Amino acid sequence: MGGVAWSEEEDRLLKKCIERYGEGKWHRIPVLAVGLNRCRKSCRLRWLNYLRPNVKRGSFAEEEINLIIKLHGLLGNRQLDEFRWSLIAGRLPGRTANDVKNYWNCHLSKKLVHAPRIEHQTVTNMEKFMTPHPPNIATTKPTDSDHTSPDNQPKTEENAIMWTPLTDTEVDRWCQDLVEEPGRFADHQFSQFDEGGSSSCSKWDWDDSIFDIDLWTL
């Protein structure tokens, strides 16, 4: 791993400590969890990415991949190659920023490397590339009005597992289609961010504005 792997005992100590004292006081965790020789940052990361309840593991579903690519196009900084993984992850129930980032770096970035301007590409015709799935799941475009759940469904494990994971081949085909198809994102939707370069639109203007766009109708 990228560092010293956490032992079961360390996980148990951290979980117990957070259940007792709550999330958020990371600077106190190393003090409160006797025997846990980890810094506040490591504790926070371990909790958020691994121990926290509702953390979803396993393959990404097509809806999740769809949303990652959409949001990556919208939230990615074209000039700096910077991305807002936490914002993307925030719209994928059970997924962490680290998960999304890893998935992008391992799977999608290589496959979309030839796409000139992803944010002007489109995410359409998913139905063509779908694996068999329960009716009305993948083809339903939710309203997502509360910005908390991409499928506008209760955040339950049941809903999550109904999403059908894509194989690598299917992702390949889907990404290829994305590259070849002319953009469906209207330029005017982005012009407000482009005018005058980055100086006229701060990062927070971006964040505030970005969710005014109905992602599911793009």
Partner DNA sequence: AAGAAACGCAACCGCCTTGCT
Partner DNA sequence: TAGCAAGGCGGTTGCGTTTCT
Please state the closest distance from residue 37 (CB atom) to DNA, in A.
Answer: 10
Please state the closest distance from residue 79 (CB atom) to DNA, in A.
Answer: 12
Cβ distance to DNA smaller for residue 2 or 196: 2
Please state the closest distance from residue 144 (CB atom) to DNA, in A.
Answer: 19
- Contacts of 3-12 spanning 24+ positions with Cβ under 8 A: 3/42, 6/38, 6/46, 6/50, 9/35, 10/36, 10/38, 10/46, 11/46, 11/50, 11/51
Bridge partners (DSSP) listed for residue 165: 61
Q: What angle do CA 135, 141, 145 make, to 5 degrees?
A: 135
Cβ distance to DNA smaller for residue 167 or 192: 167
Cβ distance to DNA smaller for residue 5 or 34: 5
Q: Footprint of DNA on this chain (CB under 7 A)?
A: 1-6, 24-28, 38, 40-42, 44-46, 49-50, 57, 81-87, 97-99, 101-103, 105-107, 168, 203-204
Residue with tokens 């109708």: 217
Task: With H, G, I as helix, E, B as strand and everything else as coil, classify residue 199.
Answer: helix
Residues 6+ apart with CB under 8 A from 15: 47, 51
Cβ distance to DNA smaller for residue 15 or 153: 15
Cβ distance to DNA smaller for residue 16 or 203: 203
Cβ distance to DNA smaller for residue 117 or 141: 117
Please state the closest distance from residue 211 (CB atom) to DNA, in A.
Answer: 15
| Rounded Cα distance, 182 and 141, in Å | 21
Please state the closest distance from residue 168 (CB atom) to DNA, in A.
Answer: 7
Helical (H) or strand (E) element with 174: helix 168-180
| Rounded Cα distance, 105 and 92, in Å | 17
Bridge partners (DSSP) listed for residue 82: 77
Please state the closest distance from residue 124 (CB atom) to DNA, in A.
Answer: 25
